[in-house]
Structure 1
């Protein structure tokens, strides 16, 4: 039965992704008895009859919901302007703060459709469910009489796109936002810096994009694989995502995966020297020994300058600082790093990394934001208010201490891996709170799929890796 459902699921997604035409049982009438909703609502009760949506169906709502209603009207194909037309037969939207903030109630009757959401996002998600019920075939369309109550199991339902190893165009990001919003995912995590490039404009340090966003000419990388987002471009993407209930979480890698920074500022490395080349992933080491010097005060000056501008652009609660795969070989031999260890009373380089992360966390907290990082930020002791993104472990240790975790393990959530390693059924089988106590489970914010762009680098290839298994995150 599960295999049959997965086949239906795959067929629906492929249809939506490439043609938005999943087929009906003749004309524009949907086969209600077999229609899958993704994700499956908490409660759904079908009844007899239908509501006929046409281009002239009115959508009526309070002023604060007009933007959401206009987006939905465009999706559905309704041409009647919001809050105009006959109220005797229409779609009525409202909010009720007693509901889960992302939850909703959807009631389809023969003469009207009533939607109540716990927030603008809840209303938006209800309208996505209505869109699925409409059958995508265009209008007019018969929607079944139904009562649906729904809310998410987790508050973080995310996708990470690696924009450093291969630059992802603003157009592709918006296309991705449309797709994940349709399935009620609510976080797009952008990996904006790595050894392969710095992708976000920092006005106080223009070298980061003037030089740090480009591969060395000897590699003959196409222009579409490199570049950066201006502050205004990113603000536009953030506004677009926000209109569809999605938060953009930025990631600025530190202290490792910092080649793009060190090419611009070699004095921030432990050796003070750096090969003047940014290389494509497979043209150099996967993990480089040169990382930001933790004993150099100028390192933290740069980081604070960057954070100052990141929080101006990104309104997200969390700022991701990476923290993964930071070899300590340079720190072990660096006089400045060794002095820092002595001066701070640290035991070793692992504790030096904890000092580094904790210091950055304090600065992020001072801006009213929270730090999140990959599993390795636990090394040497976890910063007091940090959240962990578990890709290779750490969830048990962090949640035992009462700290929050987003589950994103390589075993189930790395969608740059081939389907032979993680097929759709395996992705759907992942339980983020398995083997955790009830108290620990309360600190699991949710789960996230990750896509690293070093193998499949073109949009159509990225899509094939993400879909349909990305729907398991919804």
Structure 2
């Protein structure tokens, strides 16, 4: 039995012994919620005079105590002194002791007279220390703080509690990765899955094959970005070792991923002899599923052995991730040499060939005592007995793997894919258009009901993934990861019986404060009131406020003053006077959560909608994208669009006397590898050389206007075009599409204004 499985079983035993923990732990701002917590009377006063005691000669405990002292310094502004030896008689101190549970489990006793962190292993001491730091950091205040008295017995539900960061599509700084690991550690996530290789770039220095980073780490992005310098970068082996050591000191294991046999364009561009067909470096700036795949020559396996040996020299993790997903096999089918080799091997088809390929790679890992982990496609065609499956296509792969006796990690799309948007707000960062909210992540249970108790023993744990196609900056990565990764942390650690969304939601103000202290950005938009103006018959303007997550309550003012915990609670749409400045904010247990929202009540505000406020005609592949121009990233527009059907609807336009329509539009490269779906994107023939923006009464209705794009076609940035809409009775849904000869460039809407003719305005 592996240590991972043993830890998971011990967590299940502890969870079974703690039946009513949600109620008992609700008064503590600990995240993840502990397995068992009982409040007591009083509190421990943590101040600059507090000392942290460890046993003489216990270097591990002293190191953890120093980490706790450093974190207290960071959040409270003072650093407790770490000393070896027992506290003096009557001294109220924090004491580390090894007289506690094994593994990652710990016991924490807080009383007015002192704090005891008890664990047999360093990991348990560390997590006990993280709980003490969290209780000492309920907010952003400085100075002494009272830790509520409590008795806590805690251990993880699952052994693998992971987060993937994709550094292949976009490169993050080492400082940002360290900050992410800091947050993981503080919330008891213990596995950092580092995606280092993909079609868009090879990010790890391999000394035997220098072209992997000299060539494969750089690309020319399409569209207007072609005029910019090459994009890319990589991590030296020394930098990777530095990050491994940094993570290990925080009980986080880094599992590297080296993709095989697909997602291999970057390496094949660097060394074309590795491929099954000639590579095309121009596509390294594309997104999607690529056709390039490794060949099955012995020299290719020698290359992979050399690469993986250098990887294993850097990363001491038991598991090495080899990808295995989305390996398009068309090039294998079209390559006579590969077909002949398949016949000689007795391999039935290309799926079986991938299985043979993965098992061949796995044997190289086993020689060095490592274990292969791959995405659930590695199940196809058969799987080596010691391989571990990471299930991403829903939970079916995990269920199949567990039933076959394979260990598995649940990482299902879309629920745990953090490249999806977090709310319907148009202010969300760029990302895939499906909404996966904080509550959606929290609701995911990593223990499928379809498995028997024995089969569930093969579930090592759970992991969320931050794929960075649309996270071009470090800040965007952090905003898409946090706070959703905190919800995952609780579901991976806390027993299912103790999980409570309502209790978790009450802890969010404290969590957001801790994220800020740890130096990472977090997405506050899902907590912020959504505002919607509407015009009633007679011309009165109403304002509705929404709280999509139903966390806390929305409070507002109508006099332009900042809302407080004593401001009016929103209950129904309001009708402030014209010109009023309404400010609204969410409060949880009297504490603000998210930013303040401001809206001016004015009929003019009804006339403009950004793309994220327009309805998409379809929901095939919706994405919130960023413009490729101008060069300054913070000046680029964001567009909400279904890339397989660029079509938007303005619902309920009033055209009683006609209207002037103004659209701000942009053009971006269609750099998506979507196969035959590209040919299915609807295109209407243009009437002018540059094309038009067409406005119809409903998507199958009559054409109301066709506005020529004209000189906008020669501007890589945003352009404004204007046209007139004829009078129509009642309300009309305006359907907006572009005419074009091809999908590249790809025309998108930034914002639209529909201004009624003067005679029809109230």
Query: Does the aligned pair in 2 maintain the 1:323–1:376 contact within 8 Å?
Result: yes
Q: Which residue of 173, 179, 186 maps to 2:183? A: 179
Deviations 1:255-297 (A, max 9, x none): 10001100011111123x2224462234xxx111121012x11
2:479 is the counterpart of 1:464: yes
Deviations 1:303-324 (A, max 9, x none): 0000110010001110000000
In structure 1, the partner of 2:279 is 274
SS in 2 for 1:388: strand
In the TM superposition, residue 121 of structure 1 has moved relative to its aligned partner by: 1.4
Query: Does the aligned pair in 2 maintain the 1:167–1:224 contact within 8 Å?
Result: no
Following superposition of structure 1 onto structure 2, how do residues 326-405 of structure 1 map, counting pairs within 5 Å? 326-392=327-393, 393-405=396-408
Query: Does the aligned pair in 2 maintain the 1:281–1:454 contact within 8 Å?
Result: no
SS in 2 for 1:410: coil
In structure 2, the partner of 1:28 is none
Counterparts in 2 of 1:223 and 1:399: CA distance versus 1, 3 Å: farther
Counterparts in 2 of 1:132 and 1:217: CA distance versus 1, 3 Å: closer
Deviations 1:229-277 (A, max 9, x none): 1011111111111111100110000110001100011111123x22244
Query: Rg: which structure is higher?
Result: 2
In structure 2, the partner of 1:228 is 234
Q: Which residue of 402, 415, 419 maps to 1:416? A: 419
Distance in 2, matches of 1:315 and 1:100, equals 22
Query: Does the aligned pair in 2 maintain the 1:424–1:468 contact within 8 Å?
Result: yes
In structure 1, the partner of 2:163 is 159
Distance in 1, matches of 2:171 and 2:484, equals 23
Distance in 1, matches of 2:343 and 2:273, equals 22
Counterparts in 2 of 1:93 and 1:217: CA distance versus 1, 3 Å: same
In the TM superposition, residue 461 of structure 1 has moved relative to its aligned partner by: 1.9
In the TM superposition, residue 329 of structure 1 has moved relative to its aligned partner by: 0.7
Q: Which residue of 443, 446, 455 maps to 2:461? A: 446
Q: Which residue of 54, 60, 70 maps to 2:66? A: 70
2:50 is the counterpart of 1:49: no
In structure 2, the partner of 1:106 is 108
Deviations 1:298-349 (A, max 9, x none): 1101100001100100011100000000011111122232122122211111
In structure 2, the partner of 1:216 is 220
Query: Does the aligned pair in 1 maintain the 2:72–2:79 contact within 8 Å?
Result: no
Distance in 1, matches of 2:406 and 2:53, equals 42
Deviations 1:111-168 (A, max 9, x none): 2211012421111111111111113533311111111010000001110000000011
2:143 is the counterpart of 1:139: yes
Distance in 1, matches of 2:98 and 2:219, equals 49
SS in 2 for 1:403: coil
Following superposition of structure 1 onto structure 2, how do residues 2-151 of structure 1 map, counting pairs within 5 Å? 34-61=27-54, 62-77=58-73, 78-83=78-83, 87=88, 88-96=91-99, 99-134=101-136, 135-136=138-139, 137-151=141-155
SS in 1 for 2:240: helix
SS in 1 for 2:477: helix
Deviates more, 1:311-320 or 1:424-433: 424-433
Deviates more, 1:146-155 or 1:125-134: 125-134
Counterparts in 2 of 1:411 and 1:254: CA distance versus 1, 3 Å: same
Counterparts in 2 of 1:167 and 1:278: CA distance versus 1, 3 Å: farther
In structure 2, the partner of 1:6 is none
Query: Does the aligned pair in 2 maintain the 1:214–1:278 contact within 8 Å?
Result: no
Counterparts in 2 of 1:113 and 1:225: CA distance versus 1, 3 Å: farther
Q: CA RMSD in A?
A: 1.9
Q: Which one scores higher on RCO, CA 8 angstroms, separation ≥ 6? A: 1
2:338 is the counterpart of 1:323: no
Consecutive unaligned residues of structure 1, counting only runs of 5 or more, are 1-31
Which structure shows the bigger proportion of residues in strand conformation? 2
Query: Does the aligned pair in 1 maintain the 2:219–2:281 contact within 8 Å?
Result: no
TM-score w.r.t. length of structure 2 = 0.56
Distance in 2, matches of 1:398 and 1:217, equals 39
Deviations 1:14-68 (A, max 9, x none): xxxxxxxxxxxxxxxxxx9844211110111111111111123111112222111
Distance in 2, matches of 1:438 and 1:123, equals 30
Distance in 2, matches of 1:406 and 1:158, equals 9
Distance in 1, matches of 2:177 and 2:440, equals 26
Deviations 1:151-187 (A, max 9, x none): 0000011100000000111011001001111111001
In structure 2, the partner of 1:27 is none
Distance in 1, matches of 2:38 and 2:231, equals 48
Query: Does the aligned pair in 1 maintain the 2:170–2:471 contact within 8 Å?
Result: no
In structure 1, the partner of 2:452 is 437
In the TM superposition, residue 396 of structure 1 has moved relative to its aligned partner by: 1.7
Distance in 1, matches of 2:397 and 2:364, equals 23
Counterparts in 2 of 1:317 and 1:360: CA distance versus 1, 3 Å: same
Distance in 2, matches of 1:51 and 1:223, equals 56
Distance in 1, matches of 2:148 and 2:127, equals 18
Distance in 2, matches of 1:133 and 1:274, equals 54
In structure 2, the partner of 1:290 is 292
Counterparts in 2 of 1:118 and 1:402: CA distance versus 1, 3 Å: farther
Consecutive unaligned residues of structure 2, counting only runs of 5 or more, are 1-24, 424-434, 490-762
In the TM superposition, residue 80 of structure 1 has moved relative to its aligned partner by: 4.1
In structure 1, the partner of 2:11 is none
Query: Does the aligned pair in 1 maintain the 2:389–2:398 contact within 8 Å?
Result: yes
